[in-house]
Amino acid sequence: MNSTNAAPLSQHRSLENWLSAYVSYTDDTEAPREFHLWSAISAVAGALGRKCWLDMGTFTLYPAFYIIFVAPPGIATKSTTAGQAMSLLRESKAIRLFQGSITWQAVLDELQDCGVQVKIGSTMQAMSNLQVFASELGVLLKKDDTNMVDLLVDLWDGLPRFTRRTRGGGMIDIARPFINLIGCTTPAWLSSYAESYMIDGGFFSRAIFVYSDHKDKIIAYPRENTQVELRTALEDDLKRIGQMRGTFVLSDEAKEWGTVWYEELWNNPPAELAADKFQSYRSRRQSHLHKVAMVLSAAESNSMVIDVHHMVAAEQMLILAEGHLATIHESIVTNEKLQAYRLIVKAVDKAQRIDKNKLFKDLALKLSYQEFQQGIEAAVFAGEIKALIGSTGTSLTSVKNPPKKGS
């Protein structure tokens, strides 16, 4: 096991705020701003790793995120979103970056291989920090394979030690494992391949889904980023963030604000999260909030103090992401939803355009009205069909096989 004894950099930061500087660095791209911001969150969290934490009393939080970008094809390519942040993180050498062919066995192999001894205070601690970058979520979460979901659920909770017996009779033993994940997918993949085990198995409530259906800018001929000085400053400051060690603390004002916020979360939850199906997510929303606040503090300075403005900003970031949570939740398929989705897309593609009521009559022997509605919503979300509301009702048109003009 390696030891991290690199000579420390000067703790003086070049940038006032790493996140703001990164968003400015990536400003001249088409990708949505929120994708750049959450990419930066992932990069700072990866640099901190398990070397930093927040004591919540009866449990401890580490800045591990499972951030999933959801967008139609072409809205967010890995080269213009997460890829830029991951490139900076790789240069920082604060954490091992893993991408490519990602299986749960390969993740465990990487975790075993990247174990290090880190000096925190006067003691050395063994830990394994890993950043996973899945440019296609389907590479990570394969259909009918629950092992990866189970592994990610176990590791998100900050286990002091992960052990598992191998098929060959050996033993996997990883001290203080840490996984920080960022991935990209499309609504169509969620509607066609993501399975309900993502919800039932606990992954959904531990992930932050960030959705966008538009480009922030239209740039026909993208130019290479020439902000050399800013990139150098981003690299250097991310290295400094990677050298932070120890516990974050909440200021008295932040703790007071957090107490009121937590009571409100359970006594009067946001309308978007009030349904019973989001109870598991609500139970982890406090953890999401404080993890984001940790990163916001680290992006500003090495003080390791979470102040009230970090908490307020973290809440606003969550609120924006949660605006699409219900749609994403509904798009994750069950077998019944998948059947409805496929029947509807096939029928609309064949007809090119069809009245919604007529389509239901055609499918009434195969689908209940609730299944039909869910299938319509999933197909529209996936970008397979369009629903146009007119004076005589709703018509459904095919995206793959659109009707000719005038027909």
Task: Output the six-digit token pair for 114.
Answer: 């990247």
Distance CA 342, CA 371 (A): 12
Phi, psi of 104 (to 5 degrees): -65, -35
Residue-level pLDDT at 220: 76
Give burial (CB, 10 Å; 0-12/13-18/19+) of 93: middle
Distance CA 206, CA 212 (A): 20
Which helix (H) or strand (E) segment holds residue 67: the answer is strand 66-70
Distance CA 77, CA 381 (A): 19
Amino acid in position 249: V
- Per-residue DSSP letters for 150-184? HHHHHHHT--SEEEEE-TTS-EEEEESEEEEEEEE
Residue-level pLDDT at 3: 56
Residue-level pLDDT at 406: 60
In whole angstroms, how far apart are CA 6 and each of 22, 117, 240, 299?
25, 12, 12, 21
| 121 phi-psi bin (left φ>0, alpha ψ -120 to 50, beta other) | left
CB within 8 Å of 277: residues ≥ 6 apart? 329
Amino acid in position 324: H
Amino acid in position 297: S
Structural domains present in the chain: 2-330 (3.40.50.300), 335-398 (1.10.10.10)
Residue-level pLDDT at 153: 94
Amino acid in position 360: F
Phi, psi of 218 (to 5 degrees): -110, 110
Q: What three-state secondary structure class fits 131?
A: strand
- Per-residue DSSP letters for 309-322? HHHHHHHHHHHHHH
Amino acid in position 259: T
Other CB atoms within 10 A of residue 249 CB: 15
Q: How do the pLDDT tens digits run along the chain, 407 residues long?
A: 665 555 556 678 999 999 999 999 998 888 899 999 999 999 999 999 999 999 999 999 999 999 999 988 877 665 568 999 999 999 999 999 999 778 898 999 999 999 999 999 899 999 999 999 998 888 888 877 788 999 999 999 899 999 988 777 778 999 999 999 999 998 888 877 777 778 878 999 999 999 998 888 888 787 788 899 999 999 999 999 999 999 999 999 999 999 999 999 999 998 889 888 899 999 999 999 999 999 999 999 999 999 999 999 999 999 999 998 988 887 775 556 777 888 999 999 999 999 999 999 999 988 888 889 888 988 888 888 999 998 888 999 999 888 877 65
Taking the model in full, what pTM does it have? 0.84
